[in-house]
């Protein structure tokens, strides 16, 4: 999982660096990095799910989905710090293996931390990145969460 995280952070960081110049705005940086955030987060969360026993994946997926909802809630107001993001994700989990959950929270926060210096105090730019993080968590979880048919 560490290799996956390292690859994802490198990809997101390079995407941000490739577009950074003296005249690049935070919104432009967020727009350039945005297409990579959702799939990177989904890959990270999916890898975490696959390390679990098959009978535990649906339970963890539920927590990932809840974490995605919490991350969406951070998209109002000022851009949260990476530590605030990690803290918010950590409260979504109520299971016994908190070390692994904190590793997931830390990994998602690390993706965000890679672009945070460029988007801090820019809510419009942060919204794009936070939405991608939340959607990635939900994408990974959706495979394991039973779908209900409306009657």
Per run of 10 residues, the mean pLDDT along the chain (length 151 residues) is: 49 48 73 88 89 87 88 78 86 74 86 85 82 91 75 51
pTM of the predicted structure, to 2 decimals: 0.75
Q: If we measure between CA atoms, which residue out of 37, 30, 38, 54 comes closest to residue 127?
A: 30
Spatial contact of 36 and 11, defined as CB atoms under 8 Å apart: yes
pLDDT computed for residue 85 by the predictor: 86
State how far the Cα of 131 lies from the Cα of 127, in Å rounded to an integer.
Answer: 6
Using alpha carbons, list the distances in angstroms from residue 27 to 17, 21, 101, 133.
Answer: 14, 13, 31, 16
pLDDT computed for residue 6 by the predictor: 46
Using alpha carbons, list the distances in angstroms from residue 38 to 18, 109, 112, 128.
Answer: 19, 13, 11, 10
Spatial contact of 53 and 64, defined as CB atoms under 8 Å apart: no
Q: If we measure between CA atoms, which residue out of 5, 40, 9 comes closest to residue 140?
A: 40
Q: Please name the residue that has the structure tokens 């974490």.
A: 67
pLDDT computed for residue 149 by the predictor: 54
Query: What's CA 76's distance to the chain center, in Å?
Result: 16
State how far the Cα of 96 lies from the Cα of 99, in Å rounded to an integer.
Answer: 9
Backbone φ and ψ for 96, nearest 5 degrees, come out as -75, -30
Q: Any idea where the domains of the chain sit in the sequence?
A: 2-18+26-142
Q: Count the residues in the chain.
A: 151
């Amino acid at each position: 999982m560490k290799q996956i995280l390292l690859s994802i952070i490198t990809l997101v960081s390079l995407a941000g660096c490739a577009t950074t110049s003296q005249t690049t705005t935070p919104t432009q940086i967020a727009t350039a990095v945005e297409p990579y955030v959702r799939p990177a987060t989904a890959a990270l969360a999916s890898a975490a799910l696959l390390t679990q026993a098959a009978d535990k994946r649906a339970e963890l997926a539920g927590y990932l989905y809840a974490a995605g909802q919490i991350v969406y809630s951070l998209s109002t107001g000022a851009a949260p710090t990476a530590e605030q993001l990690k803290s918010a994700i950590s409260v979504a989990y109520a299971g016994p293996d908190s070390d692994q959950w904190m590793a997931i929270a830390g990994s998602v926060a690390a993706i965000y931390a890679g672009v945070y210096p460029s988007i801090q105090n820019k809510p419009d730019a942060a919204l794009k990145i936070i939405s991608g993080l939340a959607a990635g968590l939900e994408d990974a979880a959706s495979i394991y969460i039973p779908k209900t048919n409306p009657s």
